[in-house]
Amino acid sequence: MAKLFRAAIMGPPGSGKGTICKRIAQSFDLQYLSSGHYLRESIAANTEAGVLVRSYVERSMMVPDHVMTRLMLPRLEQLIGQSWLLDGFPRTLSQARALNSLCQLDLVISLNIPYETLRERLSDRWVHAASGRVYNMGFNPPRVKGKDDVTGEPLIQHDDDKPKALLSRLRHYKDVAKPVMDLYKSQGILHSVSGTETDRIWPYINSLLSAKMHIQPSGAFQTQTPP
Ligand code: G5P
Ligand code: MG
């Protein structure tokens, strides 16, 4: 890799942050850190912080900024000198400022996906709770219905993927994301991408990352779909 590269993917619930981060990680050999994954990990560990986090996530509410920054920043501090990609963090202006005090991002990609597309996707989403692996019954189904490809363990659906919870998550997302996007726009690092299908968005993101990182991707996820 030519130089250190730090990026973040923003987008509403179900916009494909996790799916795209996984592709970027594989194509560009970049590690990614998912806020949702770490939150679920802390819930599973049932620590004092995990019990607090559960009370927010179960009600489809944003976890308070000080909890999020305490969860994410120490992990990033351990990656000083390495390149990385963030999925779902920062999500508020306060989180973005806390991150800025640690390091400057090179690129922020904001996924702009219509509500109806999000609703359809999430009602069809299944996850492997322990690893956070995500499936969609139409887009990327598991090899065996209802079972994780790697462990064979049962897949579950998150409560906050139900339509009523989803609408409130989307409304809230818009309100808190705007000042964050304004900040990154003012820094000249924000790229917004619109579309209804990850496979159609992916070639654009692939080219963008290649140009910004000055390297050729491995091609693991290059698609034949025209932009
Ligand atoms: P999470 O886990 O970060 P969300 O709500 O931000 O949760 P989510 O639900 O994980 O985001 P995503 O990662 O943007 O969505 O999308 P995804 O999982 O890749 O794709 C969604 C589904 O669509 C999948 O089934 C996928 O296979 C499918 N899919 C993808 N592309 C396509 C396509 O082209 N076509 C089709 N048909 N399907 C497709 O955070 C969980 C909670 O933690 C808290 C919040 O409460 C949040 O709700 N939280 C925070 N709180 C405060 N600050 C933060 N920074 C926080 N981070 C998390
Ligand atoms: Mg996700």
Which DSSP string corresponds to the chain? --S--EEEEE-STTSSHHHHHHHHHHHHT-EEEEHHHHHHHHHHHT-HHHHHHHHHHTTTPPPPHHHHHHHHHHHHHTTTTS-EEEES---SHHHHHHHHHH---SEEEEEE--HHHHHHHHHTEEE-TTT--EEETTTB--SSTTB-TTT-PBPB--GGGSHHHHHHHHHHHHHHHHHHHHHHHHTT-EEEEE-S-HHHHHHHHHHHHHHHHTS----TT------
Question: Per-residue confidence at 57, pLDDT binned at 50, 70, 90?
Answer: confident
Q: What is the pLDDT of residue 73?
A: 96
- Tens of pLDDT, residues 213-226: 876 555 544 443 33
Q: Which residues are annotated as a binding site for AMP?
A: 35, 40, 88-91, 95, 169
> Is pLDDT of 99 > 90?
yes
The mean pLDDT value for 90-103 works out to 96
Residue 35 Cβ contacting ligand 1 at under 6 Å: yes
Q: Give the residue with greater pLDDT, 84 vs 121.
A: 84
Average pLDDT over residues 23-43: 92
Q: Is the C-beta atom of 163 inside 6 A of ligand 1?
A: no
Report the pLDDT value the prediction gives residue 167, as an integer from 0 to 100: 81
pLDDT of 34 reads 96
pLDDT at 147 over 60: yes
Query: Residue 83: is its pLDDT beyond 90?
Result: yes
The predicted model gives 125-135 an average pLDDT of 82
Q: Name the pTM for this structure.
A: 0.87
Nearest ligand atom owner, CA of 14:
1
As a whole number, mean pLDDT of residues 33-37 equals 94
User: Is residue 208 pLDDT above 80, yes or no?
Assistant: yes
**Neighbouring-strand partners of residue 85:** 7, 32
Q: Across residues 29-57, what is the average pLDDT?
A: 90
* Mean pLDDT lowest among 34-48, 61-75, 121-135: 121-135
Ligand closest to 64 (CA) is 1
Residue 110 beta carbon below 6 angstroms from any ligand 1 atom: no
